[in-house]
């Protein structure tokens, strides 16, 4: 079975003088869409640009596409007098001053969710893995939930919020938690049961379409994919590729187990949430719970176990290099660790923004 990839990244639009988030009045989107078409989109806040790859046949294809998208958006932004930066939150800009994009869909969300939507000034990474069979996708989603905190810890890249060191390695999820239908999903026995849940929400006017289910992992309502949404947008494109490769390999491994009539234990959402909390608070420097042994283990040790777990599928996927880079990421520290180190040295959040902007286009 071929597990194709799709990667979406959300970038900050920065004023090079003030280093503040700034409205680009969709100029970047207008210019970029001339060359990138549907691969670039506006977001609710005018200081955000979202890009998405086309369907990637494998991680090599994903590498070329993400490099091209980052490079293109950066060049267009520069030509228009802006920089772009990849981090889960901006170190000091205030959501209260940000302009919103006029759009009936966004207007409806803001009307319903009010300040929770207006304050949702965050930047994520979404990774799609192609699986057409909805029941199979749901089976894998149930098992994948266990690994979401591991992926999240590795992606942590939002320690600052509105000029404060929050004490979290990822404050982004704390901002997003205010939305309904977010976080780790519960378990559904089959796709029909999940569809019944969606139908109930639509019927009772909780939502008008399943896109408003914003869980950390979901069966995509339009594309034939499983979508992982828990991660902060990573600072470098290499980090993005490594996380995407991990997600793809986990899907392939869980599929392989199913084909051998084996199953990964599914854990209750309440337990997985304990690890998610630790991931957003401590990143890769803390401990998480090994539920099988019922003990705390260093997160980096659990990451090594995860790498061992997927080792037998990465050669076939052609992603060994990207997966190996996870060890390098653990040595270098996550985006959050590096942001905090710059701040500790310079005591200036503008220098942190400069560093993020440099890293965003490094090696392109």
Q: What is the pTM of this model?
A: 0.97
Domains contained in the chain, number = 1
Range of the domain at 145: 5-360
Q: State the CATH number of the domain containing residue 125.
A: 3.30.590.20
Q: What is the mean pLDDT of residues 186-193?
A: 95
* Residue 94 confidence (pLDDT) above 90: yes
- Spatial separation of the C-alpha atoms in residues 217 and 128, rounded to whole Å: 10
- Spatial separation of the C-alpha atoms in residues 262 and 279, rounded to whole Å: 28
Nearest to 208 by CA among 181, 173, 177, 226: 181
Contact indicator for 29, 41 with CB cutoff of 8 Å: yes
Nearest to 38 by CA among 25, 52, 24: 52
Query: How high is the pLDDT of residue 105?
Result: 87
Contact indicator for 176, 120 with CB cutoff of 8 Å: yes
Q: DSSP letter string over 190-215?
A: SHHHHHHHHHHHHHTTS-SSGGG-EE
Contact indicator for 28, 82 with CB cutoff of 8 Å: yes
pLDDT in tens, 104-139: 888 988 999 999 999 999 999 999 999 999 999 999
Mean pLDDT for the chain overall? 96
pLDDT in tens, 234-245: 999 999 999 999
Q: DSSP letter string over 161-173?
A: ETTEE-S-SB-HH
């Amino acid at each position: 079975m071929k597990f194709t990839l799709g990667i979406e990244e959300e970038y900050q639009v920065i004023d090079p003088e003030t280093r503040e988030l700034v409205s680009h009045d969709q100029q970047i989107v207008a210019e970029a869409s001339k060359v990138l078409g549907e691969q670039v989109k506006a977001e609710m806040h005018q200081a955000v640009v979202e890009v998405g790859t086309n369907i990637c046949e494998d991680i090599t294809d994903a590498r070329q596409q993400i490099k091209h998208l980052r490079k293109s958006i950066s060049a267009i932004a520069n030509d228009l007098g802006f920089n772009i930066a990849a981090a889960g939150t901006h170190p000091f800009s205030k959501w209260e001053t940000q302009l919103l994009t006029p759009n009936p869909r966004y207007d409806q969300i803001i009307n319903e969710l009010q300040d929770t939507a207006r304050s949702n000034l965050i930047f994520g990474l979404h990774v799609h893995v192609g699986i057409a069979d909805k029941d199979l996708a749901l089976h894998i989603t149930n098992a994948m939930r266990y690994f979401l905190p591991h992926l999240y810890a590795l992606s942590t890249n939002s320690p600052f919020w509105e000029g404060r060191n929050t004490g979290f390695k990822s404050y982004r999820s704390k901002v997003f938690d205010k939305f309904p239908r977010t976080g780790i999903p519960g378990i559904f026995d089959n796709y029909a049961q999940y569809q019944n849940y969606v139908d109930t929400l639509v019927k009772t006017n909780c939502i008008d379409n399943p896109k408003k289910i914003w869980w950390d992992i979901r069966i995509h309502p339009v594309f034939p994919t499983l979508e992982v949404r828990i991660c902060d947008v990573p600072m470098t494109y290499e980090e993005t590729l490594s996380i995407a490769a991990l997600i793809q390999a986990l899907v392939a491994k869980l599929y392989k187990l199913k084909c051998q009539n084996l199953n990964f234990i599914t854990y209750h959402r309440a337990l997985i949430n304990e690890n998610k909390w630790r991931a957003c608070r401590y990143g890769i420097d803390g401990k998480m719970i090994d539920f099988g042994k019922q003990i705390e283990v260093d997160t980096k040790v659990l990451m090594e176990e995860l790498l061992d777990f997927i080792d037998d599928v990465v050669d076939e996927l052609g992603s060994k290099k990207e997966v190996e880079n996870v060890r390098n990421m653990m040595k270098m520290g996550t985006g959050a660790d590096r942001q905090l180190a710059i701040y500790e040295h310079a005591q200036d959040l503008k220098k942190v923004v400069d560093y993020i902007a440099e890293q965003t286009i490094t090696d392109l």
